[in-house]
Amino acid sequence: MLRLQKYMAESGLCSRRKAELLILNREISVNGKIVSELGIKVDPQKDEVCYKGERVSIKAGYIYMMLHKPVGYISSSHDQFNRETVVDLVKSETRVYPVGRLDYDSSGLILLTNDGGLAFKLTHPKHNIKKTYLAKLDGIPAKADIEKFEHGLLIDGYKTRPAKLKIINIKDGKAEVEIKIYEGRNRQIRKMCDKINCPVLTLKRAAIGELGLGGLQPGKYRYLTDDEVDYLKNMPDAHKN
């Protein structure tokens, strides 16, 4: 037996979080009856799950892609304002969706898959997945600012988890930095840098865990190797190392 939202995620229909919203919005039926509670479990061999009248089935195989997202694309499978999305950049007969998000004006590594279980692991805050970013800042962080990153900053009413900021280069009053965080709240790095009065000019995600872009160019994508998929599935909590 599987929880309904997990079943939907593993079918490739959507992420687990999106599945929960569809259930709460009464858009999912099980054996012909609309459901609206998140605790329901289904038997993949016996129960019929439908979305908008179409049966939702778990697929035998999963697809895993790495995309170098350019600036100017939405990290979603569709956009209400008809802006281009990361899904528009890949060719796949099987529906895939992005794992997590990158801002419209940010670039870098984003994963796309139909494996809802892996997507959940990589995006849920409890797993402390390390993400590495390269940024250009309008200003030069002082030693005290770097220590604030390491101890956590108060933004939007919450304190960020300990993060790392390392200055790579300084030129014309602007700093190129490497930032490592272990959560992924909305526009978190930009808000953290605003907090130390060094606004972000450019931001690029370079790696998720130890999986990096390598030589993948903006707008291009590739399928992950079996070893890379195994690495992501077995990636330990970064704070336990």
Point out the residues that are catalytic: 103
Taking the C-alpha atoms of residue 69 and residue 86, their distance in angstroms, rounded to an integer, is 7
Rounded to 5 degrees, what are φ and ψ at 120?
-65, -45
Taking the C-alpha atoms of residue 146 and residue 54, their distance in angstroms, rounded to an integer, is 52
Pair of tokens at residue 83: 């802006």
| Beta partners for residue 214, in sequence order | none
Q: Could you identify the residue written with the tokens 């978190």?
A: 188
Taking the C-alpha atoms of residue 103 and residue 74, their distance in angstroms, rounded to an integer, is 7
